[in-house]
Amino acid sequence: MQNINGELQNGNCCEGSSRNHQDRKCVRAQCDTFFKVCLKEYQSRVSPGGPCSFGAAFTPVIGGNTFNLRASPHPERRRIVLPFSFAWPRSYTLIVEACDYNNNSNTIEKAVYSGMINPSQQWQTLRHNGAVAHFEYQIRVTCDEYYFGFGCNKFCRPRDDFFGHYTCDLNGNKTCLEGWMGGDCNKAICRQGCSPEHGSCKYPGECRCQYGWKGQYCDKCTPHPGCVHGTCVEPWQCRCETNWGGQLCDKDLNYCGTRLPCLNGGTCSNTGPDKYQCTCPDGYSGKNCEIAEHACISDPCYNRGSCSETPMGFKCLCVSGWAGPTCTIDIDECEADPCAHGGTCQDMVDGFKCICPQQWTGKTCQLDIDDCHGQCQNGGTCKDLVNSYRCACAPGFVGQHCERAVSGCASKPCLNGGQCQETLTGVQCLCPAGFSGNLCQVSGGLLDIDYCQPNPCGNGAPCFNLAADYFCRCPEDYEGKNCSHLKDHCQTTPCQVIDSCTVTVASNTTPEGIRFIFSNVCGPHGKCKSQADGKFTCDCSEGFTGAYCHENINDCASDPCKSGGTCIDGVNEYQCICREGWEGVLCEIRDSQCDEATCNNGGTCYDEGDTFKCMCAPGWEGSTCNIARNSSCSPPPCENGGTCVVSGDSFTCVCKEGWEGSTCSQSECPFT
């Protein structure tokens, strides 16, 4: 806004001030400027009167003679918003009037503009250069949320529900979400390949088959219930395969060809569905020519087998190495792969032979050829290996054949990572966990006793296996078999004790020649507190106790684990290892014998400790409710028009479209 002289359109000065007699300019005139806006239909000749058919509004006083609101921190507060509830016509007439609040709202300047504008987020700048004042303003038309188009009359609100699944683009057009199509995006796109004639879907990716059709793509017809050797082109057909007949295609029309019932050279003739007749050769009789008359006369048993007559003919008793009805099958003794260590098996009559690789011998190549022939010297013991050997040297000797003499631990006698210690009588090996023996040579097997499991050493000391014992390497402040005793430092450390929590040591960095350090008498798990007369107490960390906080509190002392669980003590905690059938932090919860799939067909499962019991729904029985009581389908168990089909000792319901469940009692439609 720019009103340099502070004038009104009628020639008066704002605030009633006078004019200078020489240049006729207003003297100290300051207008209280506000704006009025009138929006109406398009007029080529603007009528100053008449209603503001599109809306009208005014601002409060927003400035004086000259001001600029562009740099205002909140320009939106100076906006005039004219809402409309009709289709925007694009053409319009706008009257903007600047007025002085203190002169009966007299007009300072009036701007009239007629034109066209489309809805947009961009501002359009208009300028008015009047005789009294100049001002510049911006206008725009924006649609309400969910309205689009030049007239803001195209409605589109994104949704994802029963009535549609879409978003809206910048023009208000519906863009279907993935898996949906149609004008309102409420038609699901079925699984690719789903039959358009026999399949449908309510949700994307489905393929729900019509009554009588099945398969992943609903392209396979359902044959007649009970159809055995038949197919279908349309639902409920049973079109028989070759050589099969009957309503259910279960009658064999070529019994002779499929079953070959006639034995011993008998001739078979088909006499009807599932019927035949055998014509037997001389010496045989019976329905299938299975009875041999004096069968052993022909000496039917081969390879020295013995024949004995039976009511059904004969039986051969084969000698070792032969099998079969007439002892003609050579038993393959190599089938069990008896040769070890890569040996090759050769089948023989009533036996086998193994061709062994180098270094192995024996009937099944199970014996390692002994490579030890006195190679080990100086009392060394030879251990036979596969195609090799190894010398276990006596103490004081090393080398491949124990040929070099050494003393003490220099010979590195300890095996498997064992640590060597020299003693008055020789050396002692400290074995790591999992190994034992004089030289830590024993690992696994019944002879291996791991004295370090569980670890008996306290206060973080590592454990080493000995031949028949264990050894704990104690930290600096502890001693004893299990490192459980705190050392008395006052017996070995020439420190001047101040109050048990503090001691002095020599120092060349202080004038007194001494410095004070903490005694650490309470160890790593306690804090020392000085008391009267040079005494002290230890405040222990959680999980530790004792005068020096060196004892781990046994959290298993209260026997917290239930149901026979084993308690494992930790630091200020414990863990229960539960027996089979129990669970929970304290092993207090018995494993449930029931889950959703235990009892079938709507049965209710009851947990009875180590077993369960199913209470079956009407019409079902069995330990898991999987046997139908009424297998004759009478009275009909299938609801809502379902068809009952007998299947062995149970029944199956073929449900009509829209229903599902074992008795067609569940509606597929999610809405009521």
Q: Residue 672: pLDDT band by 50, 70, 90 thresholds?
A: very low
Residue 541 has pLDDT above 60, yes or no: yes
Q: Region 182-201: what's the mean pLDDT?
A: 93
- Say if 439 falls within a structural domain: yes
Q: Residue 333: pLDDT band by 50, 70, 90 thresholds?
A: confident
Domain identity same for 434 and 316: no
- Say if 240 falls within a structural domain: no
Q: Residue 633: pLDDT band by 50, 70, 90 thresholds?
A: low
Residue 625 has pLDDT above 60, yes or no: yes
In angstroms, the CA 458 to CA 569 distance is: 13
Domain identity same for 286 and 401: no
Q: 534: domain range?
A: 489-552
Residue 640 has pLDDT above 60, yes or no: yes
Residue 494 has pLDDT above 70, yes or no: no
**Nearest Cα to 265, choosing from 283, 252, 247, 251?**
283
Domain identity same for 527 and 629: no
In angstroms, the CA 35 to CA 126 distance is: 15
CA atoms within 13 A on the CB side of 528: 19
Residue 158 has pLDDT above 70, yes or no: yes
Ramachandran angles phi, psi of 556, nearest 5° = -90, 0
In angstroms, the CA 305 to CA 129 distance is: 131
Task: Give percent helix, percent strand, percent coil of the chain, each to the nearest 5.
Answer: 5, 35, 60
Domain identity same for 22 and 89: yes
Beta bridge partners of 614: 605
In angstroms, the CA 161 to CA 186 distance is: 8
Q: Region 48-52: what's the mean pLDDT?
A: 83
Each residue's pLDDT tens digit, 552-571: 888 888 888 988 888 888 88
- Say if 44 falls within a structural domain: yes
Residue 316 has pLDDT above 70, yes or no: yes
Domain identity same for 118 and 36: yes
**Nearest Cα to 652, choosing from 619, 603, 604, 615?**
619
Output the domain CATH number for residue 637.
2.10.25.10
Q: Region 356-372: what's the mean pLDDT?
A: 81
Number of structural domains in the chain:
8
- Say if 493 falls within a structural domain: yes
* SS3 sequence of 409-460: HHHCCCCCCCEEEEECCEEEEEECCCEECCCCCEECCCCCCCCCCCCCCCCC
Q: Cβ(147)–Cβ(84) under 8 Å?
A: no
Residue 245 has pLDDT above 90, yes or no: no
Domain identity same for 106 and 118: yes
- Say if 300 falls within a structural domain: yes
Pick from 6-10, 273-277, 319-323, 665-669: least confident? 665-669
Looking at beta carbons, which pairs linking 379-386 to residues 24 or more positions away fall under 8 Å?
386/359
Residue type at 120 in one-letter notation: S
Q: Region 356-373: what's the mean pLDDT?
A: 80
Residue 429 has pLDDT above 70, yes or no: yes
Domain identity same for 435 and 395: no
Pick from 57-66, 641-650, 663-672: least confident? 641-650
The winner for highest mean pLDDT among 41-55, 145-159, 326-340, 538-552 is: 145-159
Q: Residue 190: pLDDT band by 50, 70, 90 thresholds?
A: very high
Domain identity same for 83 and 122: yes
Q: Cβ(51)–Cβ(40) under 8 Å?
A: yes
**What is the share, in percent, of the chain residues with pLDDT greater than 90?**
27
Residue-level pLDDT at 203: 93
Q: Region 240-267: what's the mean pLDDT?
A: 87
Domain identity same for 47 and 121: yes
Structure tokens at 39: 């929006």
Residue 431 has pLDDT above 60, yes or no: yes
The winner for highest mean pLDDT among 117-121, 296-300, 332-336, 595-599 is: 117-121
The winner for highest mean pLDDT among 290-294, 459-463, 588-592, 598-602 is: 459-463
In angstroms, the CA 520 to CA 534 distance is: 15
The sign of the dihedral angle between the CA atoms of 629, 635, 641, 646 is positive
Domain identity same for 313 and 412: no
**Nearest Cα to 198, choosing from 640, 659, 665, 657?**
657
- Say if 597 falls within a structural domain: no
Domain identity same for 72 and 128: yes
Residue-level pLDDT at 231: 94
Q: Residue 34: pLDDT band by 50, 70, 90 thresholds?
A: very high
Among residues 552, 568, 595, the one where a domain terminates is 552
In angstroms, the CA 501 to CA 255 distance is: 104
Count each helix (H run) and each strand (E run) in the chain, helices first: 1, 64
Chain center to CA of 72: 55
Residue-level pLDDT at 670: 56
Mean pLDDT computed over every residue of the chain: 83
- Say if 288 falls within a structural domain: yes
CA angle 267, 273, 279 (to 5 degrees): 15
SS3 333: helix
In angstroms, the CA 288 to CA 589 distance is: 64
Residue 645 has pLDDT above 90, yes or no: no
